[in-house]
Every structure is written in C-alpha cells, then in structure tokens.
Amino acid sequence: MTKITLPELGEGIDQATVACIHFRQGDTIEQEDDLLEVVTDKATFNVAAGTAGVVKEILVKEHQEVKIGETLALIEP
Amino acid sequence: MWSGVFHMNKTMSLLKTQVLDLGTIDYAQAYPLQKSHVQQVLSQGIQTLLLCEHPPVITLGRLADEKNLLVSSHLIKERGVSLYPIDRGGDITLHAPGQLVVYPIFDLRHYGKDLHLFLHKLEQVIIDLLADFGIVAGRQSGRTGVWYQDQKIASLGIGVRQWVSYHGFAVNINTDLNLFSLIKPCGLDVSMTSMAKIKGRIYPMEEIKEKVIQQMTQHFNLQTQGS
C-alpha cells in the first residue's frame, strides 16, 4: 500500500486546504494523475498520485485543512 | 508568510523560455492554452511566458466567496462581462483591456519548489516594472499583491501541477477602473488603481510588455526566444 502525503510546499507553509478530490475509493489511478487539489493563500497545488494503482482509501474531505506530511490517501499498486 | 531568501546561483545555466504575445484573447481560449503549455513544460522542459490582455471577464478562484460579486450575474452579462470559476488560488478578480496579464508557465523545481517564494518573486517583478516607470509600489503585510499607497495595482494567483506553474499576475496599465465596482477584488475592501491613473497618461502596451519580459528574464534567469 502506498501512502500519498501532502508534500512540502515552501517555507512557512504548514498546512493547506483540500479544494477538490478528483478520484473516489475504488477508482483506478495512473502515476501522472492529479489525485486532489489543495489551496494555500494564493496558490492551488495539484497532488499527483505518484504511483499507479487502485485508490483504496481517501482520508481527507473537501474543505478540510491538512498539514504538510499528512497522509491524504492510500493507493494499492 | 514567506520570509526566506532564495539565492539564484549566478553560474546556473539560463532556462530556455519561449515568450508568446497572445494579444487580446478570450479567457476561455487562453485557459486551455495555459494547460497545454504546462504539458509542454512537463514533456519537453521548455518554459513559456504568455502575455495577453483579456476582454472583460471576472474569474472566481478556488477560495472565491460569491458575496464578493457585488451585482447579479445577469447585470454582469449586461455589462458585457463574462464569468468563470477557475482553479487558481485567491478569490475573485477582473480582467479587462488595458490590463497586462502574464502567465509564467515555469518549472518551479528550478526555483526552489516553494509556492510563496515564487509569488514573492512575481511581486518583485511587478514592483521593479513599476519602478522602471517612476512608480514606487510595494507589498502589504499578509496580503498578496502589489500596492501603490493604499490602492491595489496588481493581483496574483497561481496554480501548480507537478511543480509547473500556471495562472500568474495582472497589472493595471490603462484599465477602465470603473469595472472593478462589479466586484470586491480578492475579497478585500480596497480600491484599485492603474499606471494611467497614477501618472495621468496612457501607456503603449508594447512598451510595458518589453519591460516585463526584461524583468522576468532577470528575476527568473531566462533565455527567452520568440515574441
């Protein structure tokens, strides 16, 4: 199982808000696909799956604040 | 709030960047064009700097609050203004002829992979651009954008996909500022200004574009091609 986490987005950015989730549990996802989009003050950032497989679990909801390094989803390769 | 400093390595090789002047282009056409250039950066590694003006359009960012739209969407259409919800950071903004819109489709892996640092550098480009025309503008603490005294002259908002940026910034050069009465720009109680309002003259857009390319080249270590 591969954990998808919120990457470092820059100095002084500790968290971001989930704006859109593009996949649902059970969906097949490709490595290059954007799994979800987070937003900071003036920037949106697309979090890529980074690995191909099946989305086993999405651990966050839209509008939820997430911290850098927090697990967002689990993908089974 | 970003407070660090990213030192550009002077020996770092210049980054090939094509400059495309799109002239006046509908937002609906420019948006997919940005996305296709993001793909191009990812597949070929050549960055793109898009410059354009848009016919009147209001865009709603991901953080947009519809309360910041001060009139009905019907009235907005009546004024000949289009409305688009889009995937950039920030709230609500307006583009119109006379405003220079700059979309840097850049690979942020070359610039420290730092969203706030990138925005900060774009603000500096705008501040230095305005200084080229004798206008002393600056930042306001906690508010992204560029300000002349207590009025806003430029807005910023970016999107990032696989560390490639899209969207960008808009500077009011000769913009009809009355259009801003339709919105609460960026959700703030601010009034907008323009270079034309500050200096009491109209500026040729070509001259501004030339200067903005120079500033972007310097701040982002570009080797530009095309026009």
- For residue range A19-46, what is the model confidence (pLDDT) as tens digits? 999 999 999 999 999 999 999 988 999 9
**Residue B174 amino acid letter:** N
Q: List the 107-136 stretch of B: residues with Cβ below 8 A of A.
A: 112-119
Would you call B87 and A44 a contact, using CB atoms and an 8 Å cutoff?
A: yes
pTM: 0.92
Percent of chain A with pLDDT over 90: 97
| Residue B52 Cα to chain centre, angstroms | 10
- Portion 143-202 of B in contact with A at CB < 8 A: 144, 156-162
Which residue from A minimizes the CA distance to B4?
A11
pLDDT band at B11 (very low <50, low <70, confident <90, very high): low
User: For a pLDDT cut of 70, what percent of chain A falls above it?
Assistant: 100
Q: How far apart are CA B48 and CA B39, in angstroms?
A: 11
Among B61, B87, B115, whose Cβ lies nearest the Cβ of A9? B115
**Which run of H or of E encompasses B58?**
strand B57-60
Q: Which two tokens stand for residue B89?
A: 């950071």
User: Which residue among A10, A20, A42 places its CB closest to the CB of B156?
Assistant: A42
Is A66's pLDDT higher than 90? yes
pLDDT band at B73 (very low <50, low <70, confident <90, very high): confident
Lowest-pLDDT choice from A25-39, B66-80, B87-101, B157-171: B66-80
Active site residue B52: no
Residue B12's Cβ-side half-sphere holds a number of Cα atoms within 13 Å equal to: 15
- Backbone φ and ψ for B220, nearest 5 degrees, come out as -115, 15
CB–CB contact B87 A8 (8 Å): no
Predicted local confidence at residue B3, as pLDDT: 44
* Among A8, A17, A42, A45, the residue to mutate for chain B (most B Cβ within 10 A): A42
Higher pLDDT, B190 or B129: B129
> Which positions in chain A have a beta carbon within 8 angstroms of at least one beta carbon in chain B?
8-13, 19-20, 32, 34, 37, 39-46, 48
What integer is the mean pLDDT of B39-44? 94
**SS3 assignment, position B100:** strand
Task: Please tell me if residue B77 touches chain A, with a CB cutoff of 8 Å.
Answer: no
Q: Closest partner residue to B89 among A10, A20, A40, by Cβ?
A: A40
- How high is the pLDDT of residue B8? 54
In this predicted structure, the answer to whether residue B53 has a pLDDT above a threshold of 90 is yes
- What is the distance between the alpha carbons of residues A38 and A35, in angstroms, rounded to a whole number? 10
CB-CB: which of B1, B144, B160 is closest to A12? B1
B61 CB neighbours in chain A (<8 A) are: 44
Beta strands in A1-77 (DSSP E): 2-5, 15-21, 28-29, 34-39, 43-48, 53-58, 65-67, 71-76
Q: How confident is the model at residue B4 (pLDDT cuts 50, 70, 90)?
A: very low
Query: What is the phi/psi pair of residue B36, to 5°?
Result: -70, -30
In whole angstroms, what is the distance from residue A1 CA to residue B146 CA?
A: 45
Contact (CB, 8 A) for A55 and A29: yes
- Residues making up chain A, counted from first to last: 77
Chain B residue whose CA is closest to A14: B1
Cross-chain residue pair B144–A41, CB shorter than 8 Å: yes
Sign, CA dihedral B126-B131-B137-B139, equals: positive
- Percent above pLDDT 70 for chain B: 93
Q: Is B55 helix (H, G, I), strand (E, B) or coil?
A: coil
